[in-house]
């Protein structure tokens, strides 16, 4: 049975050196306001999708070192330009030593660009759609990313949303450990049923505390001993 979130917060504060230090740590990662997120250019969403896809399975340091070349190679991730990439162009980019040469991940970029363009046609902009989606149905947004994008399932989709400023949980090892301790999960989430349990717990804790999903996720992680 889940404890009151105040007990989890107390555990995290004890581990991190007190309430003030904990709150400072929590505040280091804060989501954008709904209006600020809605005004984010869609090309920045595509850039973060790409960054997170390439960082999965590769060194984030390597990706960061090559990032200016990624921006140049993909027209600063303009969705229209990226959606128009041909197979020949993808093959050429896969031979470019200035970026990470993984053809399958490069081929995901035009698919994800087309996904964002479709959201823009349907909702005015992809950023507006993401901003307007309630936290109470975060798993629905994650499912949409997985089904309509490419390589955007699971942890990658969560990290993309966190990176662009959407309040989001990330099921890291420590977060899963905390959720297991609180009786929410019995195993790392592996499907829709498990994610629904996580969503229900976060909805409950958000209502209880008034905190957003990013804060709750980080507090859960901080409440697990190293």
Compute CA distances 58 → 28, 52, 54, 63, 153, whole Å. Answer: 25, 10, 6, 7, 17
Indicate whether 2 pLDDT > 90.
Answer: no
Nearest to 127, CA basis, from 181, 47, 190? 47
- Nearest-10 Cα torsion for 126, 129, 131, 136: -140
Residue 59 pLDDT class (50, 70, 90 cuts): confident
Where along the chain do its domains lie? Answer: 5-31+169-223, 35-164
List the structure tokens of 22: 């904990």
**Average model confidence (pLDDT) for the chain?**
97
pTM score > 0.85 for this model? yes
Per-residue pLDDT tens over the stretch 3-43: 999 999 999 999 999 999 999 999 999 999 999 999 999 99
Class of the domain covering 35-164: mainly alpha
Cβ atoms of residues 84 and 110 within 8 Å: yes
| 57 φ/ψ angles, rounded to the nearest 5 degrees | 95, -10
Q: Report the pLDDT averaged over residues 85-103.
A: 97
In the chain, % of residues over pLDDT 70: 100
Cβ atoms of residues 140 and 174 within 8 Å: no
Per-residue pLDDT tens over the stretch 107-144: 999 999 999 999 999 999 999 999 999 999 999 999 99
Cβ atoms of residues 63 and 101 within 8 Å: no
Indicate whether 58 pLDDT > 90.
Answer: no
Q: Report the pLDDT averaged over residues 197-202.
A: 98
Nearest to 45, CA basis, from 218, 135, 165? 165
Cβ atoms of residues 206 and 213 within 8 Å: yes
Please name the residues in contact with 156: beta carbons below 8 A apart, sequence gap of 6 or more. Answer: 52, 53, 56
């Amino acid at each position: 049975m889940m404890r009151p979130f105040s007990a989890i917060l107390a555990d995290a504060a004890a581990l991190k050196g007190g309430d003030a230090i904990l709150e400072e740590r929590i505040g280091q990662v804060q989501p954008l306001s709904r209006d600020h997120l809605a005004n984010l250019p869609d090309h920045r969403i595509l850039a973060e999708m790409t960054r997170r896809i390439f960082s999965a399975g590769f060194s984030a340091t390597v990706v960061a070192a090559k990032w200016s070349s990624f921006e140049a190679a993909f027209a600063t991730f303009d969705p229209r330009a990226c959606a128009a990439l041909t197979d020949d162009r993808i093959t050429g980019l896969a031979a470019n030593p200035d970026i990470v040469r993984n053809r399958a991940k490069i081929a995901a970029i035009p698919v994800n660009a087309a996904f964002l363009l479709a959201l823009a046609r349907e909702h005015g902009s992809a950023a507006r759609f993401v901003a307007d989606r309630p936290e109470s149905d975060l798993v629905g947004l994650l499912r949409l990313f997985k089904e309509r994008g490419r390589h955007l399932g699971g942890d990658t989709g969560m990290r993309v949303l966190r990176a662009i400023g959407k309040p989001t949980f990330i099921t890291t090892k420590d977060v899963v450990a905390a959720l297991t301790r609180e009786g929410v999960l019995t195993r790392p989430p592996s499907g829709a049923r498990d994610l629904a349990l996580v969503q229900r717990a976060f909805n409950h804790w958000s209502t209880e505390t008034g905190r957003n999903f990013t804060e709750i996720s980080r507090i859960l992680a901080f409440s697990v001993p190293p």
